[in-house]
Amino acid sequence: MRRFEYHEPTSLKEASQLLTSLGEGAYFLAGGTDLFVEIRERLRQVRHLVNIKRVPGLDQIEWSDQTGLRFGAQVTAGQLEASGYLNGRYPNLRAALKALASIQVRNRATVVGNVCRASPSADTIPPLIADGAVIETYRPGGGRHIPLAEFFAGPGRTVLEPGEIVIAVTVPPPAQGSHRAYLKHGRRKAMELATVGVAVSLEVEDGLCTGARVALGAVGPVVLRAPQTEAILVGSRLDAAVLNAAAEQAMQECTPISNVRASAEYRREMVGVLTRRAVMLALEEAA
């Protein structure tokens, strides 16, 4: 492991100033489950580590019928999974959290950290995008609310400005007739990075799909929305023919690459299979 300087701010203002003044090679530390591995494996050159765990007010999980779910930057995947707020409301996010690494890692890793790492294969991002999550930030000049779908600039990159800190994520409450699912495809069942991840969030009234958001993980530089796939689902009765058409469309809307985990062709094929299965699972979950 390479040496680095360690900082422990106690306010958002101080944390933000530190990151700005320290410049290149300065990184926030929350859970550290990815960062420490990257430091050890020399994948990331870290000169300064700014631990934000002493900053007050970032450890809350809240629920309200009006505004939905809100969780702070220090909330771990394990805490969110155990909070009970996800049950019956965000089964896709719940599935994604359960699919994330191991129990030990989930007890350390923060959900916001998983999001801010901006990996196209991150498990929590597809369901959060499908559910319309919004990022809340702190900035010296005033914080922002950024829809998660507009948060990513590329693999490992976000639209955050220097010194801007994500303080919470808000996920709107599920609408009437909500059906949601997340399916992850990997080489083994646990401790795995998604080869493909598909999240769906649907609204269905009297058998008719009235709203649909489909998010595709690990098949593009960022987690992708699939608007044309959604258009096929909305207004339909979600029968086998529609599901097959949606699966075909989702395969066209992704832009996978080939690497040691899978070929682009295989990933594209799995987008089709998982999209169809995710819609079917979502319909089952609510029933």
Positions touching another protein (CB under 8 A) are 1-3, 40-41, 185, 187-193, 260-263, 266, 269-270, 273
Token pair recorded at residue 143: 């914080």
Give the nearer residue to another protein in terms of CB position, either 70 or 185: 185
Give the nearer residue to another protein in terms of CB position, either 191 or 208: 191
What is 6-24 written as a DSSP string?
Answer: EE--SSHHHHHHHHHHH-T
Give the nearer residue to another protein in terms of CB position, either 113 or 174: 113
Minimum distance from residue 121 beta carbon to another protein (Å):
11
Minimum distance from residue 71 beta carbon to another protein (Å):
27
Distances (CA, A) of 257 to 13, 117, 199, 266: 40, 19, 19, 10
CB atoms within 10 A of CB 190: 11
Q: Cα(54)–Cα(96) distance, rounded to whole angstroms?
A: 27
Minimum distance from residue 202 beta carbon to another protein (Å):
21
Minimum distance from residue 269 beta carbon to another protein (Å):
7
Minimum distance from residue 44 beta carbon to another protein (Å):
14
Strands 5-7 and 48-51: parallel
Give the nearer residue to another protein in terms of CB position, either 21 or 263: 263
Minimum distance from residue 283 beta carbon to another protein (Å):
16
Exposed/middle/buried for residue 75 (C-beta within 10 Å: 0-12, 13-18, 19+) = buried
Give the nearer residue to another protein in terms of CB position, either 82 or 280: 280
Question: Across the chain, where does the E strand assignment appear?
Answer: 5-7, 26-29, 48-51, 61-64, 68-72, 134-138, 145-147, 152-154, 157-158, 165-171, 178-185, 196-205, 208-217, 224-225
Give the nearer residue to another protein in terms of CB position, either 9 or 126: 126
